[in-house]
Amino acid sequence: MKYLKLLVGLLVTSQISSCYLTTQGYNLFKYNLSAKPLKEVYEDKKVNIDTKKRIDLIFEIREYALKNIGLKETNSYTKLVNMEDKNYLVNVLVATKPDKMELYKWSFPFFGDFPYKGFYEYSDAEKEMIELKKDGYDTYIRDAGAFSTLGWFDDPIYSYMLNYSSEYLANIIIHEMTHTTLYLKDQGQFNEELATFIGDQGAIDFLEYKYGKDSREYKISFALKEDGKLFRDYINSFYNALDSLYKTKDLTKEEILTKKQEVIKEYKEKFYETAKNFKIKEAYAWFPKLEINNAVIMSFITYEQDLSLYQKVFDKNGHDLKKTMDFFKTFEKENPSNPKEQLNKYLQENN
C-alpha cells in the first residue's frame, strides 16, 4: 500500500515538478527494492562477526527508541541496502540571498516547503546549483548519510552506515525516527531542531543505558554534545554578525557585500579560538576548509539555531525523553503556525 501511495504521488507531482520527483523517486524505489531484511543478513553464514555486531546494535538502538523515547514504530531500519560504491546517500542543496539570511524554499505538493533539496546524484545537484548562482544566490552542497521518507517508505540502513561510530549511528537513527514520528508541514526549522535535540540526547541516553557512564562510548558522546554547543554558539554569533550587517540601512548593496567578506574572514579566524576548547579536536576540522557564504551558515542554523528551547522542555519533563517526546507529539493535532512561539508560551506558563 505504501509503495502504491508513493507511486501515485510521484505520478501526480511529476506533472507539476518536472522530472525531479520522478528521478529521485526512481532511485528511492531502486534502493528500497534491493533492501534485504537485517535478520536475513544476520543469519547468513557468509557475513562476518563485526557486521553482525553492528546489526545487533541497530536492533538495540531501534528498540530503545521505541520503548524509551516513544518514537513511532514502523519497519524502518530493519533492512539493509548494499552501497559499495558510495559512503553517503544524498547531496543536499541549500541556497540563500547573498545579502540576506533568507533561505530559498522548495515547495512540493503533499509535503510542503523545504529549506533544502536532496539529489541522489551530485551532477543533478550541481546543475540546479549553477542555475541558482546565475540568479545571484549563495549556494552550498553537502552530503547526507540518511534522510527520512516521513513514513512513505520503510527507511533502510545503508551499508556504509555500519562503519559509523556507535554514537553517530544511534544519533542518526533516532534523528530520522523522530521525523517519522512528528513532522509539521512548512516548519522546516522546528522539525530539524527537534530531531537534532532528540537525536543528540537520545544517543547519549542510549549509550549510558548500554555501556554505562564510565564507558568510552558514553564519554565520547557527551564530549561531542559539549563540542556541539560550542560550535553552535560560534555559528550563531557568525549568523548574528552577518544578519546585523545586512540590516544596516545606510550601506549600498555593493558596500554590504564587501563588508560581508570582511566578516567572513574575521569569523574564520575566530573559529580557531573556539576550536581550542573542543574536547574532540578533529570534530569540526573540516569547517574552515569550506568556502563560507550565507548558504553554509544557514545550513547549520536550520538544524540548531536555538536548541536551548528543547533543552528547557526536557528539563521541565524531569529529563525524561519519552515524556518530552509525548509533549511534542501534541503539536501534531494542534498544528501551530509558529511552534517555537508555542514552546516559549509553554515555558512561560510552566515557569
Query: CA-CA distances (angstroms) from residue 39 to 76, 80, 83, 173, 333?
Result: 13, 10, 18, 18, 36
- pTM of this structure: 0.86
For cell 545550513, the residue is 299
Helix, strand, or coil here: 84? coil
Amino acid at 337: S
What gap in Å lies between CA 6 and CA 273, rounded to an integer? 48
Strand order in the sheet with 79-81: 36-37, 79-81, 157-158
* pLDDT of res. 255: 97
Contacts of 96 (CB under 8 A, 6+ apart): 102, 103, 104, 137, 138, 293, 294, 295, 298
Strand order in the sheet with 117-119: 117-119, 90-96, 138-144
Amino acid at 131: E
What gap in Å lies between CA 147 and CA 88, rounded to an integer? 11
* pLDDT of res. 188: 84
Decide if 188 contacts 340 (C-beta within 8 A). Answer: no
Burial class for 97, CB neighbours closer than 10 Å (0-12, 13-18, 19+): middle
Query: CA-CA distances (angstroms) from residue 12 to 110, 128, 154?
Result: 10, 22, 21
- DSSP element (H, E) containing 263: helix 253-275
* pLDDT of res. 1: 45
Per-residue b/e over 207-238, b at no fewer than 16 CB within 10 Å? Answer: bbebeeeeeebbebbbebbebbebbbebbbeb
* pLDDT of res. 327: 95
* pLDDT of res. 19: 64
Query: pLDDT per position in the chain (351 positions), as tens?
Result: 444 444 444 444 444 445 676 667 777 778 888 899 999 999 999 999 999 999 999 999 999 999 999 999 999 999 999 987 788 889 999 999 999 999 999 987 666 788 889 898 899 999 999 999 999 999 999 998 887 877 777 899 999 999 999 999 999 999 999 999 999 988 888 999 999 999 999 999 999 999 999 999 999 988 998 999 999 999 999 999 999 999 999 999 999 999 999 999 999 999 999 999 999 988 899 999 999 999 999 999 988 888 899 999 999 999 999 999 999 999 988 878 889 898 988 898 887
What gap in Å lies between CA 292 and CA 290, rounded to an integer? 6
CA 246-299-294 angle, 5° bins: 25
